């Protein structure tokens, strides 16, 4: 094997190792994002208002169902108020369609399903909310939603 062949083979091997390493990092980030979404849904169902805003970046901006654009304080106030209402039982589940990670940003295409059952009601209300959550990697390595768009079907 010539010197040029060895160099080319070494370069090819290093490139392959770099691609595998990059894929593993993206996979770990994707897993962290999925886990964060599932934890949020669990906190919501458990009425854990202390941690219900942990998934959101303080710079959050969001658009939902044609309502005016809002931010972090708006969503946290709304979530805490909803979770303190003992006349309703809530459940949120996420059907994650896709997670795309690129550097310090990630896009999640998903459908949230919200179920609300009022005390004494025979049936629960079900709302499907397709949307896109945009995550930003935080200095400590966690991922938080800093933009989202959603609507109700």
Strands ordered across the beta sheet of 105-118: 70-71, 56-64, 143-150, 125-137, 105-118, 88-102
Per-residue pLDDT tens digits for 96-135: 999 999 999 999 999 999 999 998 888 999 999 999 999 9
Tell me how many domains the chain contains.
Answer: 1
Number of other residues whose CB lies within 10 A of the CB of residue 88:
14
- The residue written with tokens 């025979």 in the block is 122
pLDDT tens for 62-73 read 998 888 899 999
Find the helix or strand (DSSP H, E) in which 1 lies.
none
Could you list the residue range(s) of the whole structural domain that residue 82 is in? 3-150
pLDDT band at 5 (very low <50, low <70, confident <90, very high): low
According to DSSP, the residues that pair with 92 across neighbouring strands are: 114
* pTM of the predicted structure, to 2 decimals: 0.79
The domain that holds 40 is classified in CATH as 3.10.450.50
CB 53 within 8 A of CB 76: yes
Backbone phi and psi for residue 74, each to the nearest 5 degrees, phi listed first = -60, -50
Closest CA to 135 of 30, 21, 23: 30
């Amino acid at each position: 094997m010539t010197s040029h062949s060895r160099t080319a083979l070494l370069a090819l091997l290093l490139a392959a190792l770099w691609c595998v390493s990059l894929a593993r990092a993206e996979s770990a980030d994707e897993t962290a994002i999925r886990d964060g979404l599932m934890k949020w849904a669990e906190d919501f169902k458990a009425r854990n208002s202390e941690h219900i805003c942990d998934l959101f970046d303080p710079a959050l901006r969001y658009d939902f169902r044609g309502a005016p654009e809002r931010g972090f304080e708006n969503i946290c106030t709304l979530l805490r108020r909803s979770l303190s209402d003992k006349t309703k039982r809530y459940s949120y589940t996420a059907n994650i369609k896709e997670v795309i990670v690129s550097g310090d940003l990630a896009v999640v295409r998903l459908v949230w399903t919200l179920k609300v059952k009022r005390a004494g009601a025979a049936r629960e209300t079900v709302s499907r909310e397709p949307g896109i959550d945009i995550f930003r990697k935080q200095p400590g390595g966690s991922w938080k939603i800093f933009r989202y768009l959603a609507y109700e079907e």
